[in-house]
Structure 1
Amino acid sequence: MNTTDSAQSASARSSEKALDRVRKLFAKAESVAGTPEAEVLLERAYALLAKYGVDEALARSGLDQSASEVLVHEYVLSGKYQPDQVGLIASLANAMHCKAVTSRRADGKRIVYVVGVRRHVDRVVMLAGALTGIMLAGAARQRPAPGISAVTHRKSFMTGFAFEVGRRLAAAEAGAVSASEDAVGAGLVLRSDSQRAESAMRRRFPHTVKGSRRRVGTSGLEEGRRVGGTVDLGQSRFAGGRRQIGA
């Protein structure tokens, strides 16, 4: 094995080790959900996710090029409240330097395309898989005040949840950049990653249009933000065209 192969192998092992640590933190937090310990564990998980992204970004000019590849991940939605699931994925994508585009397949299923640099897309997909279930379960437990529709209240809750998760992740990203040994360089690379995601989205989906802002009630917003802030784990079609989310 030559020096380049050795460096790539070491980088891949380091990345996988970091993601494994995140998964274990999520699992441990879920086991003690609702306790102060769970909140501490989740903050560590978010911080490590951010650090993983920044560390990979700083390594982009090095030997491991696979993590900097731009790709499109197809995330197929299922179940109820699909527009709200879209909103969560969009919040995750925006916080982690990606773009999200939604459409429908020929079989009628709604799909979200997450466009971005591989290391960021991997994080979006991992979090979306965990957080979607948490968000839907939290919404199902909501009991609105008399006179307020349960569906309206739950959608409001999920909007607050998605917003707060995205805010926390964006803050973690910014904190990881500031703590980096090369904060200026890390910031420049992440901005470049965002620009590359934007360019790739425009190339892959040239007819994308910006979606209209959804209107939701306010009855569940604060509770959604509260749960999104302490989430216990272990983010209209136009003539058949795709719609850009959260741009």
Structure 2
Amino acid sequence: MNTSHNTSHNTSHNTSQGTSQSRSQDGHEGAGPPSSEKALDRVRKLFAKAESVAGTPEAEVLLERAYALLAKYGVDEALARTGPDTAAAEVAVIDHVISGSYQPDQVGLVAALAAAMHCRAVTSARGDGTRVVHIVGVRRHVERVGMLAGALTGVMLAAAARQRPSPGVSAVTHRKSFMTGFAFEVGRRLEAAERGAVAESRDAAGAGLVLRSDSQRAETELRRRFPTAVRGARRR
């Protein structure tokens, strides 16, 4: 079992769709739809448009808009949790199944997403050739990671398929290099969007405090659920 600070979900040319299922801290399963479905629906539409034009400047603009909107949603939710209603602060686990080609690269993307969204992740292999990424964190954050994973895996794989390697470099090697850079850049941009949303919120100090606490709780729950997991294992 290997872990990383992040997680994901997928669609693709060369992969089949991933599936995810959430469980609460006490082990019960739950769906838990986000409270602001309208905002998340706008994000989904932006990602769908970005996938249709993957690898183009237009896709980059669409992704930036989606990241900013998703970050604002997360910060608004964090501020709401400074009040008396703490239901949204429940720690949950999403088990996300990854299948098809380029599985280590898909896992790397999910890991980057989880880290940027104040979650933690551990990956396990299954006998049927698929992998499961267990995403641990506050429910609203793991929901965001699950949605991002499903949307951005498709964008990443579509963009990678359009890459043309340099002479002497295999297509697979070139695509894997591209996907490593894609995951890193997505994580960086999401973290920047989160910082910007916190700074522009009505209570930057309060939002920052809640989000730091969320990260700590995710780490604690990861260690409780997966005590033998090896953090920082290299992807294969």
Question: TM-score w.r.t. structure 2 length?
Answer: 0.79
Aligned to 1:41: 62
The 2-side partners of 1:13 and 1:137 are apart by 28
Q: 1:36 Cα deviation (Å)? A: 5.6
* Larger Rg computed on CA atoms: 1
Aligned to 1:230: none
Does the residue aligned with 2:168 lie in a helix, a strand or coil? coil
Matched, 1:171 2:192: yes
More helix by share: 1
| One-letter amino acid of the structure 2 residue matched with residue 58 of structure 1 | L
Give the count of matched residue pairs. 204
Aligned to 1:155: 176
Contact 2:49 2:62 in 1 (8 A): yes
Q: 1:23 Cα deviation (Å)? A: 2.0
Flag the 1:28–1:149 CA change in 2: closer, same or farther, 3 A.
closer
Out of 88, 111, 118, the residue aligned to residue 67 of structure 1 is: 88
Deviates more, 1:38-47 or 1:197-206: 38-47
Aligned to 1:51: 72
* 1:42-191 equivalent positions in 2, closer than 5 A: 42-191=63-212
Contact 1:66 1:118 in 2 (8 A): no
The 2-side partners of 1:210 and 1:150 are apart by 30
Does the residue aligned with 1:206 lie in a helix, a strand or coil? coil
Percent pairwise identity: 79
Contact 1:76 1:112 in 2 (8 A): yes
Q: 1:16 Cα deviation (Å)? A: 1.4
| One-letter amino acid of the structure 2 residue matched with residue 121 of structure 1 | V
Contact 2:98 2:106 in 1 (8 A): yes
Aligned to 1:208: 229
The superposition leaves residues 100-129 of structure 1 with CA deviations (integer Å, 9 ceiling, x where unpaired) of 110113444211111101111111110110
The 2-side partners of 1:194 and 1:58 are apart by 15
Does the residue aligned with 1:115 lie in a helix, a strand or coil? strand
Out of 23, 26, 46, the residue aligned to residue 25 of structure 1 is: 46
| One-letter amino acid of the structure 2 residue matched with residue 145 of structure 1 | S
Contact 2:67 2:193 in 1 (8 A): yes
Greater length-normalized contact order (CA 8 Å, ≥ 6 residues apart): 2
Flag the 1:203–1:111 CA change in 2: closer, same or farther, 3 A.
same
The 1-side partners of 2:62 and 2:154 are apart by 19
The superposition leaves residues 27-70 of structure 1 with CA deviations (integer Å, 9 ceiling, x where unpaired) of 44556667665544332221110011111111113244332111
Aligned to 1:242: none
Q: 1:17 Cα deviation (Å)? A: 1.8
For structure 1, which runs of at least 5 residues remain unmatched after alignment?
Answer: 1-11, 215-235, 237-247
The 2-side partners of 1:14 and 1:76 are apart by 25
Does the residue aligned with 2:36 lie in a helix, a strand or coil? helix
Contact 1:177 1:183 in 2 (8 A): yes
Flag the 1:22–1:63 CA change in 2: closer, same or farther, 3 A.
farther
